[in-house]
Each structure stands twice: as C-alpha cells, then as structure tokens.
Chains A and B, each alone.
Chain A
Amino acid sequence: MPRARVLIRPKEGILDPQGQAVERALPALGFPPAQHVHGGRLVELGVEDTGQLDEMCQKLLANPLVEDYEVELLEQ
C-alpha cells in the first residue's frame, strides 16, 4: 500500500508562538540563534488511492483557513 507523508504548518503571517518559543530557547541553551522557526504537525499514512490525499488534507488533516500542507509520496 503506498505511503504518504503530510507536513502541516501555520500559514505565513500567522503568529506562531510555538516557533517563537523554540527561537528563544535555542540561544538560552548556548546555540547560535536560529531564524524564522515554525512548528507544525506530521501525519504519515498508508492509503489505497493517493489521488484522494489532497481532499483528505483539505477536509480533515489540515485547516485550510490557517494552515498550509505539503504531501510527499514515500518510496516503498
């Protein structure tokens, strides 16, 4: 069964406090500062029909009002 990986992240321009928290925490641990950190979600799934992935993202896996998503088909 083909497997896909979906990456979901907040749309550009939306305040992302999770990303900001990571940005602040890294220098506090002694690392050089990281730029433009964003936090998101990963969903991996095996699907019969990869053609349905886009609709799955639109309807359930992401909230298109506030999130962008990226689908990657994985090598078997």
Chain B
Amino acid sequence: MRFGVVRFPGSCDEIDALRACETYGDADVLWHRDADLKGVDAVVIPGGFSYGDYLRVGAIARFSPVMGAVEEFGRDGGPVLGICNGFQVLCEAGLLPGALLPNTSLRFLCRQVAVDVINRDTPWTRAVEGHKPLSIPVKHTTGRYYAPDEMLERIEASGQVVFRYHAGHNPNGSLNDIAGVCNEQGNVVGLMPHPEHAVNPLSGSTDGGLLFQSAARVLAPAVPAA
C-alpha cells in the first residue's frame, strides 16, 4: 500500500513522516503545487511551519492545489492523517471541526507526553490494543484545541474525540484535554502529537508506529506487522 506525504514550503517533519510511513508501506511526496494524489491509498499531512505560519497557522496552506485533491479524497472516505501543522491545515480547510489556538503558556513546547486513544475505530487507530497510553512527543506553539460549546458537546457525544492527553499531560490548555479529533465519517484524523517521532526504537518509544501500522493493515491486510 502507498502513503502520500504532502510537502508545503516550510514543512519540517515531512522527511520524518516519510520514514515512518516507509516502515509499514511505500511512500511518495505530494508537492503542494500538484493537485495530483498519484493514486495513493492514504494521505499524511505532516508537521512544520507551512508558509511560515504567516497570517494564521495553516491558513495559506489550505488553499494550495494539493489540498483541493486531499479534500475530495477525504470526503470520499479516503484515510487522511494531519499531524500538528497538518491538523491545523485540516481545521482551516473545514475537514475537521474546531480550531487550534496558541498554547496558554504562549511558548513553544517540546516534550514527551502520554496520550490516551479514545476512538479505536478510525483507520489510524485500529491497531491500538490495551489501555496503556501512548508515549509520543509534542512540539508546537499553537496546539490548544478549541471548539465552541455546542460543537464541543457534539464532538464528544459522537465519538469524534480520537486522542486525549493523559491526566496531567495536557501541554497547551486544550479543552477537555483533546489531543486529536476525527471527522463525522471517521476517516480524517488530526492530532497535535507527533507519532512519526515515536517509530524508531532509538527515539525512546515505538508507540507512534501503531498509527501507521493501523492504516497499512486496513488498506493492505496482507502486510506483515513490522
């Protein structure tokens, strides 16, 4: 199966995301100027500072040609994973509910955190078993999840909260400790923590690999678990 990793001017973690995807399948770079998804099976929008975070994080990236194709892919049920800046882009594009605001500390924070997986039904979380939180790093300045009251109630009620920071691990003031959400269909997932930095055992944790493994299993069941 093939992952497509989107690259904007200013993406930083796309190489790391490519490496993580390649552990479980093949991976191609999807350049922002091309509205061509090259027939990939799943799309990953990685972290970084697309367009320098100018105007508002993700605000400019969401209008790039590739995002038009990603939006169509997502609405058709294709699996999409937005990591950090990718999550911000998906919210700006309206593919995910809510918005990401500056951390309450107003500072960039890079730290390993414990994240609970709340929704195991998405293509990105199906391989997660047991109840131990995942150990994954966060690194961002604008990661505080926000949705207006009514929207927040709806998201909680409909199971659209996919990840929550474990008690005491909320690094940014996110409402309800939300670390990641999905759309109503459940195929588009966004999260602030960086699973691609928890794949190689040398990084101290391999928990992040479960997200890529999930997608690989869903799309190509014959792929052996790595």
- In the complex, the answer to whether A17 meets B99 with C-beta atoms within 8 Å is no
Q: Which of A30-38, A47-55, A61-69 contacts B (4 or more CB under 8 A)?
A: A61-69
Instruction: Report how far A14 CA is from B148 CA in the complex, Å.
Output: 9
Secondary structure type dominating chain B contacts? loop
- Among residues of A, the one whose C-beta sits closest to the C-beta of B62 is A60
Residues of B in contact (CB 8 Å), total 19
Residues of A in contact (CB 8 Å), total 13
B59: Cβ under 8 A from any A Cβ: yes
B158: Cβ under 8 A from any A Cβ: no
B159: Cβ under 8 A from any A Cβ: no
- In the complex, the answer to whether B106 meets A21 with C-beta atoms within 8 Å is yes
Residues of B within 8 A of A15 (CB): 101, 104, 144, 173
B177: Cβ under 8 A from any A Cβ: no
- In the complex, the answer to whether B101 meets A66 with C-beta atoms within 8 Å is yes
Secondary structure type dominating chain A contacts? mixed
B105: Cβ under 8 A from any A Cβ: yes
Instruction: Report how far A60 CA is from B99 CA in the complex, Å.
Output: 14
B73-92 interface bits toward A, Cβ cutoff 8 Å, 1 = contact, 0 = none: 00000000000000000001
Which residues 28-68 in B have Cβ within 8 Å of A in the complex?
A: 55-56, 59-60, 63
Q: How far is the CB of B120 from chain A (nearest CB, A)?
A: 28
- In the complex, the answer to whether B56 meets A17 with C-beta atoms within 8 Å is no
Q: How far is the CB of B85 from chain A (nearest CB, A)?
A: 15
- In the complex, the answer to whether B59 meets A60 with C-beta atoms within 8 Å is yes
Which residues 15-53 in A have Cβ within 8 Å of B in the complex?
A: 15, 17-18, 21, 41, 43
Cβ 8 A contact of B99, one of A18, A21, A61, A65: A65
Mark B residues whose CB is within 8 Å of A: 55-56, 59-60, 63, 92, 98-99, 101-106, 144, 146-148, 173
Q: Which 10 A-B pairs have the closest CB atoms?
A: A66-B99, A17-B104, A65-B99, A17-B106, A63-B99, A21-B106, A63-B56, A17-B102, A66-B146, A60-B59
